[in-house]
Amino acid sequence: MYITELIINGLIQGSLYALIAIGFTMVYGILRLINFAHGDVMMIGAFLTIGLLKINLPWQISMLLILLVGGAVGFTIDKVAFRPMRGAPQVTGFIASLALSLLLQNLGILLFSAQPRNFFLPEFFRKTTLVFGLEVRYLSFVIVFSTFILLTILLLFVKKTKLGIAMRATAENLQVARLMGIRVNTTIMVAFVIGSGLAAYSGMLWGGRYGQVDPLMGFLPGLKAFVAAVIGGVGSIAGAAIGGYILGFSEILFVGLLPVGMSGYRDAFVFGLLIIILLFLPNGILGTSEEVRA
């Protein structure tokens, strides 16, 4: 029973991390761009939800709107900040995303104040049902199922559709893809749109699960998304999801299973585990050895 509770919660937490990581890796896989503003798009999604719920839109429409607005934010970010930097060394984009993140966070503080605020999804999500003797909220099901469904859709998209294959090609080798006639800028834009839409959506779910949001809430999840994507293997969508689950499970299981006095060491264990994984699998779990770009 005790273990069941830990596993179920690990699954939910892992799904949240996986969702954020998948969105993160859409752009990361193609451009190797660490987009630190990803966490802040999540924050935008959460605050947007509060706004939408205030005007009493039915939740199905709100969910859709959040995905769309998230996508729009992604589109803007790409157009304004990252496209002008195409061709620059990777680390330039990373810094730009940090600057962007700082911008969004402080705008958030100026507009909304730094105070956390409460967050309630409609009643429907808070109903519960029994799973293996544990009361689980509908929201938790939504979280887990969303992650699986979206993951499957994305994997199919990337394997079967023309655009998806174009994205994989661009991720593998941008120059050659361009030479092959793929419209690289469009592909990248699509990656941003999808990634940011997912981020905004996970912001909504995150707010719903924990009930509290604030302008700085995106920093830590964004960092964890980066870690998860790298552990899973740069460029691999399924890998990012796996990375997210490993992170979610280990955070909960370490506290739940280690001796009580060691709970303070949780982060050390989690990162220790990650470093060990990297030492054995230097390209992440599902990553492949990168072509040396001569």
Partner 1 sequence: MRLKELNLRSKIPPMAVLGLIGLIFVVIVDKFLSAYITSVISFIFLYMILAVSLNITNGFTGLFSLGHPAFMGVGGYIASLLILPVFRKEFFLPELPQWLATQQWSFFPAIVMGGLIAAIVALIIGYPVLRLKDHYLGVATIGLIFIVKVILKNNEQYTRGALGLNGLEFKTSIWWIYFWLVITVYVAWKLKFSSYGRTMLGMKENEMACSCLGSNVTALKIMAFVIGAFFAGVSGGLWAHLTTVITPDSFSPSLAFNLVVMLVIGGTGSISGSLIAAGGISLLIEYLRPLEEALGMYGLGQILISVVLLFVLIFRTRGLLGSSELKFLQKEV
Partner 2 sequence: MLKLLKKARPVALVLILILLSTSILMAAGKAEDAKDKPIKLGGMYNLTGGFSSIDAPGLSGAKLKAKLINEAGGILGGRMIEVVGYDTQTDQQAAATQSKRAIDQGVVAGLGYGDTTYVMAAAPLYQSAGIPFVTSGATHPDLPKWVGDMFFMVPFGDDDQSYAIADFAWNTLGVRKVVIWTDDSMDFTLALSKFFKERFIELGGTIIHELFYQTGDTDFSAHIARLRDARDAEAVFVGSVPNEAGLTVKQIREAGIKIPIISADGYDTELVATVPGPALANDVYFSTHTYRSDDRPEVLNFIEEYIKEYKREPENAFAACGFDAVGLIADAIERAGTTEGKALQKALAETKNYQGVTGQIAYTRPSRVPVKPIAIIGVQGGKFEYLDTWWPEL
Residue ranges binding partner 2 (CB under 8 A): 2, 5-6, 9, 12-13, 106, 109, 113-120, 135, 137, 206, 210-212, 214, 216, 220, 251-256, 260-261, 263-264, 266-267
Tell which positions 217-246 bind partner 1, by CB under 8 A.
223, 226-227, 230-231, 234
Alpha-carbon distance of 240 to 26, in angstroms, equals: 10
Is the separation of the CB atoms in 258 and 265 below 8 Å? yes
Contacts of 150 (CB under 8 A, 6+ apart): 19, 22, 198
Is the separation of the CB atoms in 27 and 191 below 8 Å? yes
Shorter beta-carbon distance to partner 2: residue 43 or 193: 43
255 contributes a contact to partner 1 by CB under 8 A: no
285 contributes a contact to partner 1 by CB under 8 A: no
In order of 46, 142, 202, 231, 251, the CA distances from 197 in angstroms are 12, 17, 9, 23, 26
96 contributes a contact to partner 1 by CB under 8 A: yes
Site string for partner 1, 25-54 (x = CB under 8 A): -------x-x-x------------------
Site string for partner 1, 140-179 (x = CB under 8 A): ----------------------------------------
Shorter beta-carbon distance to partner 1: residue 105 or 146: 105
Shorter beta-carbon distance to partner 1: residue 180 or 290: 290
Contacts of 91 (CB under 8 A, 6+ apart): none
Shorter beta-carbon distance to partner 1: residue 167 or 274: 274
- Which pair of structure tokens corresponds to residue 268? 């050390």
Residue selected from 133, 181, 259, 282 as contacting partner 1 according to rule CB under 8 A: 282
Shorter beta-carbon distance to partner 1: residue 49 or 250: 250
Is the separation of the CB atoms in 4 and 134 below 8 Å? yes
Under the phi-then-psi rule, with left for phi > 0, alpha for psi from -120 to 50, and beta for the rest, what region is 290? beta
- Residue where the block lists tokens 């552990």: 231
Tell which positions 59-78 bind partner 1, by CB under 8 A.
none
Shortest gap between Cβ of 33 and partner 1 (angstroms)? 10
Shorter beta-carbon distance to partner 2: residue 148 or 265: 265
Shortest gap between Cβ of 114 and partner 1 (angstroms)? 9
DSSP SS3 for 134? strand
Shorter beta-carbon distance to partner 2: residue 8 or 165: 8
- Secondary structure element (H or E) that encloses residue 77, with its range: helix 59-77
Is the separation of the CB atoms in 85 and 93 below 8 Å? yes
Residues 278, 282, 288, 293: what is their CA dihedral angle, to the nearest 10 degrees?
Answer: 130
Alpha-carbon distance of 179 to 41, in angstroms, equals: 33
Using CB under 8 A, which of the segments 65-73, 190-198, 202-210, 262-270 binds partner 1?
Answer: 262-270
State the pairing for strand pair 134-137/128-131: antiparallel
Q: Under the rule (CB under 8 A), what is the footprint of partner 1?
A: 32, 34, 36, 81, 84-85, 87-92, 94-96, 98-100, 102-103, 106-107, 109-110, 223, 226-227, 230-231, 234, 264-268, 270-272, 274-275, 278-279, 282-284, 290, 292, 294
